[in-house]
């Protein structure tokens, strides 16, 4: 059986985790702080906070910005539920916008959804390809859009416009305008979940990139405090002589990353550019060369003049099939011992959002894309022979199902 996305766990990782266990630092400690500094340098930002998941890190930012009941947050309709769930957790309203053909939010449609209640936009780099950040920043900085902004907190007042929180769960290592993703907007949040390109088993990281007059080092301290129940000293700080005493200055969250998880991340990081990304790029290239021979294959967009993907998901689309056919094709691929997936089921199809009144009919691009998309396996040890086996299974399944109708 060819799996979909197994993690790469080898002796280097096992030894680094063992080192963390032997050190006595199994919660947030020196390995986590080192991991943060490496990510900050890689992403061209001054400060990064490591957290225990994308979800808690991103929700922490909504809390920090003062988003509450009555506010609105714009998200793409084509994303994993976490992007919208964190908005619901804050009591705000999710405003969904349709996608474009590269799987990102259709930036050209965003402005018409902006109201005086809009406090944030959460674009998503689906599959690892960055969205069009320049166009999005142009919109939020328009005088007419800024005039609508109605600040209700100190941080909103200081920013003076809609906050952009990039959901970069898929795009660690992607580039935009020649730089690694992370420094494009106010906040960029990565995921290091088990299936991501770089994993810490569970985890994430917040790149802090606020404009002046914000002091990003000070914001790091604020977010670090909020990630520890609002406690103003973390475990590492409390180990200093005479520094046992602490205070709780806010009813914060509990979402710090541990040194055990960071130890996995440190090994993954050190071989990311030399091994992980080149291998994933090779897999995309081989899939594309093989699948380009078929007229029914819509090859995913993963590089252009401004952007290069992190090569996280190979998002194949199949021309002229129905949803029922797509599902039969997936089953037929599995019957040949090849694992595939679908990214994503649009939010209005999920029972929770459907019951809130969202309708997929309002998002025609998301509807047509979801009905014909199949994600192919991409992982470090996937060989050329296995890629050929995957493509063979896909071709067999598609031709069998299409010819039977």
User: pTM for this one?
Assistant: 0.96
61-85 residue pLDDT tens: 999 999 999 999 999 999 999 999 9
Give the pLDDT confidence score for residue 227 in this predicted structure: 96
Residues 6 or more apart in contact with residue 107 via CB below 8 angstroms? 100, 123, 131, 132, 135, 136, 139
Give the pLDDT confidence score for residue 99 in this predicted structure: 98
Which alpha helices (H) appear in 24-152, and where do they start and end?
30-43, 54-65, 82-89, 133-140, 143-148
Average pLDDT of the chain, as a whole number: 96
Mean pLDDT of 242-248: 77
Cα–Cα distances in Å, from 342 out to 86, 304, 317, 325, 330? Answer: 22, 24, 10, 14, 9
Give the pLDDT confidence score for residue 235 in this predicted structure: 67
Give the pLDDT confidence score for residue 35 in this predicted structure: 98
H/E element, 94: strand 93-97
Residue 187 has pLDDT above 90, yes or no: yes
Give the pLDDT confidence score for residue 245 in this predicted structure: 75
Q: Which two tokens stand for residue 219?
A: 């914001």
| CA–CA separation, 405 and 401 (whole Å) | 7
329-372 residue pLDDT tens: 999 999 999 999 999 999 999 999 999 999 999 999 999 999 99
| CA–CA separation, 327 and 336 (whole Å) | 15
Cα–Cα distances in Å, from 267 out to 16, 252, 301? Answer: 7, 30, 30
What are the helix and strand counts (H, E) for the chain? 15, 13
Residue 89 has pLDDT above 90, yes or no: yes
Q: Which domains does the chain have, with CATH numbers?
A: 11-269 (3.40.640.10), 273-403 (3.90.1150.10)
The strand pairing partners of 303, in sequence order, are 308
Residue 109 has pLDDT above 90, yes or no: yes
Mean pLDDT of 310-315: 98
- Percent of the chain at pLDDT exceeding 90: 94
E-state strands within 225-264: none
Residue 243 has pLDDT above 70, yes or no: no
55 burial via Cβ count (<10 Å: 0-12, 13-18, 19+): buried
145 burial via Cβ count (<10 Å: 0-12, 13-18, 19+): middle
Q: In this structure, what is the dihedral angle of CA atoms 5, 344, 352, 52, given to the nearest 10 degrees? A: 40
146-178 residue pLDDT tens: 999 999 999 999 999 999 999 999 999 999 999
């Amino acid at each position: 059986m060819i799996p979909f996305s197994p993690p790469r766990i080898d002796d280097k990782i096992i030894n680094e985790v063992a080192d963390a266990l032997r050190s006595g630092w199994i919660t947030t400690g020196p390995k986590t702080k080192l991991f943060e500094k490496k990510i900050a340098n890689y992403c061209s930002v001054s400060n990064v906070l490591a957290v225990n998941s994308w979800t808690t890190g991103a929700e922490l930012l909504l809390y920090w910005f003062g988003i509450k009941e009555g506010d609105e947050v714009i998200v793409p309709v084509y994303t994993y539920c976490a992007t919208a769930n964190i908005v619901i957790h804050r009591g705000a309203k999710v405003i969904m916008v349709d996608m474009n053909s590269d799987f990102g939010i259709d930036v050209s449609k965003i402005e018409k959804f902006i109201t005086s209640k809009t406090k944030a936009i959460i674009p998503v780099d689906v599959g690892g390809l960055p969205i069009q950040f320049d166009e999005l920043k142009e919109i939020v900085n328009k005088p007419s859009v800024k005039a609508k902004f109605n600040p209700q907190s100190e941080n909103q007042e200081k920013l003076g416009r809609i906050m952009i929180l990039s959901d970069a769960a898929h795009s660690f290592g992607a580039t935009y305008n020649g730089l690694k993703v992370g420094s494009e907007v106010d906040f960029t949040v990565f995921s290091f979940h088990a299936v991501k390109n770089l994993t810490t088993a569970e985890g994430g990281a917040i790149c802090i990139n606020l404009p002046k007059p914000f002091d990003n080092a000070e914001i790091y301290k604020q977010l670090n405090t909020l990630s520890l129940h609002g406690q103003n000293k973390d475990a590492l700080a409390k180990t200093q002589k005479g520094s046992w005493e602490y205070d709780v200055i806010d009813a914060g969250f509990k979402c710090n990353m541990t040194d055990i998880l960071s130890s996995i991340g440190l090994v993954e990081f050190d071989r990311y550019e030399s091994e992980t990304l080149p291998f994933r790029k090779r897999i995309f290239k081989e899939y594309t060369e093989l699948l380009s021979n078929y007229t029914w294959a819509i090859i995913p967009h993963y590089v252009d003049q401004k952007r290069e993907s992190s090569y996280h998901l190979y998002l194949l689309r199949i021309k002229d099939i129905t949803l029922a056919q797509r599902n039969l094709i997936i089953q037929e691929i599995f019957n040949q011992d090849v694992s595939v997936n679908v990214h994503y089921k649009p939010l209005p199809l999920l029972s929770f959002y459907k019951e809130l009144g969202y309708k997929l009919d309002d998002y025609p691009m998301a509807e047509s894309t979801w009905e014909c998309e199949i994600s192919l396996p991409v992982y470090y040890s996937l060989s050329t022979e296995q890629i050929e086996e995957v493509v063979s299974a896909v071709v067999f399944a598609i031709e069998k199902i299409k010819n039977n109708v």
